Amino acid sequence: MIKAGIIGAAGYTAGELIRILINHPEVEIVFAQSASHAGEALWKAHADLFGDCSLTFSESAPVSDADVVFLCSGHGKSAQITASFPPGYSGCIIDLSNDFRLAADAGDYIYALPEAFRSRIAGAKHLANPGCFATAIQLALLPAAKAGLLSEVHITGITGSTGAGQKPSETTHFSWRSDNLSIYKPFTHQHLAEIRETLLSFSPSWSGNINFVPIRGDFTRGILVSAYFDCGLTEEEAVQLYEEYYRDEPFTFVCKENPDLKMVTGTNKALVYPRKYGSKLHITCVIDNLLKGASGQAVQNMNILFGIPEKTGLALKANRW
């Protein structure tokens, strides 16, 4: 059994991670650390776990007991947390924050988007899990980037309220978010830098802009990305390009019909839909921001690290209605 520990275990992404790992046939959770909930049962923070799990939150994080540690404490905290690990800690670390995603900050952390860097992930010890919008956008663009087809890219993406984390804020509480939409961080979103690094690693000569406008949605979970750029391929050629790229991927699928969010929420799937409109190649990509965009992908990466079948523990079904 893989012994797993979770630091920062009271938030949304940690809750999803716990739900997956308590049902993972190869994993035992050895600690779930949360200073704010220490001594409480996990269901106090994650109410749907009532009756499913007898674990309690710990004050400390005995990382030496774990083969893999998941860092879920939020952005800007992981570097400080890992600096406090015992000298010589030899286990694996999977960070779900943005602390190690960029090359300038990464050290020995591998940027862990399986559809792009699976071979690097398999040989690593420390992984930086991609951001949620970054995952959806990259999956929409990777085949075109590899083929050297990218020009200036225009993207609109809409995300559920859980993407903002569990701590309440002015733009996440129910009365503001319900029946409402708003744009935030247009052209300046924090995931743009990691997206650009990946695309340039696939297409070093590409010099186009990524014009990204994110939108807060009036729903809890899921991301829908709409991306387009000028492209000389026919629609048939573009679909073939995407199908060939994702042919052997266990979670990313090329759709024959326009996908919607309810096809993926509650799952680790990504659905990609390329179509041609005049000179523009348009790609729709849908994922669950908490699963393929965070905790599901983290478990997928853990499976790769430990050499077990990639889909283990991730046979999750969408709740269609």
Give 179's contacts (C-beta < 8 A, 6+ positions apart).
Answer: 218
Please determine, looking at this structure, whether the domain spanning 2-129+294-305 carries the CATH number 3.40.50.720. yes
Residue 129: DSSP 8-state: P
Whether 92 sits among the annotated catalytic residues: the reply is no
Q: What is the pLDDT of residues 92-132, one digit of tens each?
A: 999 999 999 999 999 999 999 999 999 999 999 999 999 99
Per annotation, catalytic residue among 53, 72, 132, 231: 132
- Domain extents for the chain? 2-129+294-305, 132-287
Are 296 and 264 in contact, with CB atoms under 8 Å apart? no
Helices (H), the chain: 12-21, 78-83, 103-106, 114-122, 132-146, 174-177, 192-202, 235-245, 295-305
Residues of the chain with pLDDT under 50: none
Residue 145, pLDDT score: 98
Q: What is the pLDDT of residues 214-249, one digit of tens each?
A: 999 999 899 999 999 999 999 999 999 999 999 999
Separation of alpha carbons 137 and 139, rounded Å: 5
Predicted TM-score of the model (pTM): 0.95
Choose which CATH entry (3.40.1790.10, 3.30.360.10, 2.60.40.10, 2.30.40.10) describes domain 132-287.
3.30.360.10
Separation of alpha carbons 130 and 293, rounded Å: 7
Q: Residue 278: count other Cβ atoms within 10 Å of its Cβ.
A: 7
